[in-house]
Amino acid sequence: MTAENIPRATAKRLPIYYRYLNILHDTGKQRISSTELAEAVQVDSATIRRDFSYFGALGKRGYGYDVDNLLAFFKTILNQEHLTNVALIGVGNLGHALLNFNFHKDGNLRISAAFDTDDKIVNTIEDGVPVYPIEELSHQLHDQQIKVIILTVPSKVAQSIADEAVSGGVKGILNFTPIRLQVPENVLVQNVDLTNELQTLIYFIENFGK
């Protein structure tokens, strides 16, 4: 089955499985059942088996899953063997927090360039990352061959910035703005709406947490 045929919900769970398999590997555990994995990652075992089935026979009935083999498989699927450079657009409060997070310490992601309009930080180094003027966005993305951006700009400029990034060759956008971006079919957008997530959490607490 090709990546295009993998359900989006399944794809979002793959990094969760991968992170836990890393923990198992570090503790020396050699095999795990879908039931054990379900308890650890809080995903029911039937869903795990269905997720894994999209990729063929990853385990054996009565044995479970070989941790090292499964880890190696997901490492390849998630492209963990190669470093991916990401650009941050908008170095405000949230942007600074993301720079400080340092993705590259925990995986194969690294913010290698940032863009902003503030003259106080443009052409400086913030948390080890060069900050370029927003006017250089398109050609810097193209020259540095950056295909993924994190968007933390004001809503009123989100679409125009996204358009500029796409013209620079971007294929993926992690969108922290509340705007639902219009992009070509070959560009993927992952929306992260912190307000919506918090409101959803409060709703479930109020209605199901009593």
Minimal CA–CA distance to 126: which of 156, 167, 160, 98? Answer: 98
Q: Is 93 annotated as a binding residue?
A: yes
* Pair 18, 41: CB distance under 8 Å: no
Q: Is 64 annotated as a binding residue?
A: no
Contacts of 181 (CB under 8 A, 6+ apart): 158, 159, 162, 173, 175, 189
Q: Is 95 annotated as a binding residue?
A: yes
> In this structure, what token pair is assigned to residue 34?
């879908």
Q: Is 92 annotated as a binding residue?
A: yes
Minimal CA–CA distance to 91: which of 50, 134, 57, 61? Answer: 134
Angle at 189 between CA 89 and CA 122, to 5 degrees: 5
Q: Is 172 annotated as a binding residue?
A: no
Q: Is 91 annotated as a binding residue?
A: yes
Summarize the annotated binding site for NAD(+) as residue ranges: 90-95
Summarize the annotated binding site as residue ranges: 90-95
